[in-house]
């Protein structure tokens, strides 16, 4: 009998002449091969079944045309503005920039000329529009004046930001940086847009100089944002892969509802988070997705992202028929509703009875789950190193058991959010940057972009006009955002 790469070669087996022992050995090997193939098919089916509704994968990677199930539930509200919404209706202004009068010259009935002194009523309507778009050129002249008394020549001086014979001003530079770093336009499209609007087309090298100059002015504001996040009671952390000059790198984010900090690094794990230097001294609640590099920090407390848990539990429920997973998913959602109701009622914590019920149900679900998913038995497969490979269900159960305090942190402390959506939103736009514009060309460029984007994200969270702030930064007087984390 001949076997090749785990496949039985029936062409070289004469079953009619095989002995009983040879047939039994053949059946045993076939059974082993069938079991291995079944496990492989199951793993591939599970891989194909994973999409944005039951895993951490983003919707853009969904391979199926079917509509995925959302974890959100309908609000029951009608589309459009809700009762009490202030609205954004345009209002008349008292002092318009231009006034155009449409006065009739003759009576529409008899044709009599209407004098200026005739009685009149005025109906007002206003059109809000852009002024004609054109660049303004401001010439600076330095005068050297001789003193009539002693003859000494005294010279004026150019403004500190006027350094070239001809240069682009801070307002245009602010617009370019805003388009590149916040609206995520590629250099070529930014060049085309500036050309269409103003009739000039700065080169990509000029754009890079503008970005570098802006980043240099934001070193201190970035450091202040970082220090404020370290002092926050609750901060969100996440990481995602991106590319610099075609090589894999990792983008790290730390954020609060009012602050955002980005950093690029070669590594994903603790080497990178140590270099970013927020988590090593952070003592509040760190909200994240249970990545081991985050859990390694013991000074802070941890809150795990339950949106991740809901998706993973959905996968176990739908693809592996793990009924305990559905029960756990419903329990987490029920606990969230109780917390939300208590917050709306002005309470700072759940009543003791509700808290006890949540914990007791949580423990009972884990007991059932572990009973249905025992640890792997039998000898270790040849060549396998490290811990025994476990099922996804077993791994999920152990995470929920070992980190119960972090899973239920939102129940015990109302400052802790249910999920890590804030950090995911903050990092998603930089992933979109790569989809639109491709990878960064250098680490220096990536660092400059991260600094500017973190600053602009912070301003956006605080409702500060970004173009005006960039104008100030490019004049050498950057605005310091409010440093309160919430």
pLDDT along the chain (486 residues), means of 10: 47 64 79 81 71 59 56 67 73 93 92 89 92 92 94 93 92 96 93 94 93 96 97 96 90 96 95 96 96 95 96 92 95 97 94 96 97 82 70 94 97 96 91 82 93 97 96 95 87
Residue 244's SS3 state is: strand
Distance CA 395, CA 375 (A): 10
CA angle 249, 255, 256 (to 5 degrees): 170
Residue 422 in any domain: the answer is no
Residue 28 pLDDT: 81
Contact call for residues 423 and 255 (beta carbons, < 8 A) = yes
Distance of CA 68 to the CA centre of its chain: 21
Residue 457 in any domain: the answer is yes
Of 67, 39, 41, the residue nearest 52 (C-alpha): 67
Residue 128 in any domain: the answer is no
Residue 328 in any domain: the answer is no
DSSP 103: -
**Which residues span the domain enclosing 178?**
168-283+446-486
Residue 388 in any domain: the answer is no
Of 272, 292, 163, 229, the residue nearest 486 (C-alpha): 229
* 343: number of Cβ within 10 Å: 11
Residue 1 pLDDT: 41
Residue 214 in any domain: the answer is yes
CA angle 362, 408, 419 (to 5 degrees): 120
How many domains are contained in the chain?
A: 2
Q: Which two tokens stand for residue 251?
A: 């983008």
Q: Which two tokens stand for residue 184?
A: 């995520």
Q: Which two tokens stand for residue 173?
A: 């530079």
Residue 341 in any domain: the answer is no
Distance CA 170, CA 217 (A): 13
**Burial, 72: exposed, middle or buried (Cβ in 10 Å; 0-12, 13-18, 19+)?**
exposed
Distance CA 214, CA 474 (A): 6
Residue 407 in any domain: the answer is no
């Amino acid at each position: 009998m001949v076997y090749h790469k785990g496949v039985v070669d029936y062409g070289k087996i004469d079953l009619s002449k095989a002995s009983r022992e040879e047939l039994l050995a053949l059946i045993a090997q076939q059974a082993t091969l069938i079991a291995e193939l079944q496990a492989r098919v199951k793993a591939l089916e599970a891989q194909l079944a994973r999409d944005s509704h039951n895993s951490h994968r983003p919707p853009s990677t969904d391979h199926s045309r079917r509509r995925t199930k959302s974890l959100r539930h309908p609000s029951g509200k009608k589309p459009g503005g809700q009762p009490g919404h202030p609205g954004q209706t345009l209002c008349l202004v008292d002092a318009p920039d231009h006034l155009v009068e449409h006065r009739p010259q003759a009576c529409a009935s008899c044709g009599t000329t209407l004098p200026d002194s005739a009685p009149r009523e005025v109906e007002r309507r206003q059109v809000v529009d852009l002024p004609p778009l054109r660049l303004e050129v401001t010439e600076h002249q330095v005068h050297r004046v001789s003193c009539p008394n002693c003859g000494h020549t005294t010279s004026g001086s150019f403004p500190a930001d006027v350094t070239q014979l001809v240069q682009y001003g801070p307002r245009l530079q602010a617009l370019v940086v805003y388009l590149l770093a916040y609206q995520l336009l590629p250099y070529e499209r930014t060049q085309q847009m500036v050309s269409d609007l103003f009739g000039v087309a700065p080169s990509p090298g000029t754009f890079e100089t503008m970005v570098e100059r802006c980043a240099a002015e934001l070193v201190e504001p970035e450091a202040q944002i970082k220090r404020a996040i370290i002092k926050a009671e609750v901060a969100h952390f996440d990481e995602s892969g991106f590319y610099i000059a075609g090589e894999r790198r990792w983008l790290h984010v730390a954020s609060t509802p009012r602050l955002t900090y980005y950093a690029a690094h070669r590594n994903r794990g603790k080497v990178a988070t140590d270099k970013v230097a927020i988590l090593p001294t952070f003592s509040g609640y760190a909200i994240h997705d249970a990545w081991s590099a985050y859990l390694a920090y013991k000074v802070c407390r941890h809150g795990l992202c339950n949106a991740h848990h809901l998706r993973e539990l959905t996968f176990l429920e739908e693809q592996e028929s793990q009924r305990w997973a559905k029960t756990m998913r419903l329990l987490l959602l029920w606990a969230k509703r109780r917390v939300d109701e208590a917050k709306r009622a002005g309470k700072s914590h759940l009543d003791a009875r509700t808290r006890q019920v949540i914990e007791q149900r949580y423990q009972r679900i884990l007991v059932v789950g572990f009973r249905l998913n025992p640890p792997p038995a039998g000898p270790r497969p040849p060549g396998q190193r490290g811990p025994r490979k476990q099922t996804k269900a077993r791994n999920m159960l152990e995470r929920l058991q070992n980190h119960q305090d972090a899973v239920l942190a939102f129940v015990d402390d109302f400052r802790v959010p249910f999920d890590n959506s804030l950090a995911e939103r903050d990092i998603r736009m930089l992933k979109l940057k790569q989809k639109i514009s491709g990878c960064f060309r250098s680490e220096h460029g990536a660092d400059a972009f991260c600094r500017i984007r973190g600053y602009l994200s912070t301003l956006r969270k605080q409702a500060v006009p970004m173009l005006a702030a960039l104008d100030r930064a490019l004049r050498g007087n950057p605005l310091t955002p409010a440093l309160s984390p919430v």
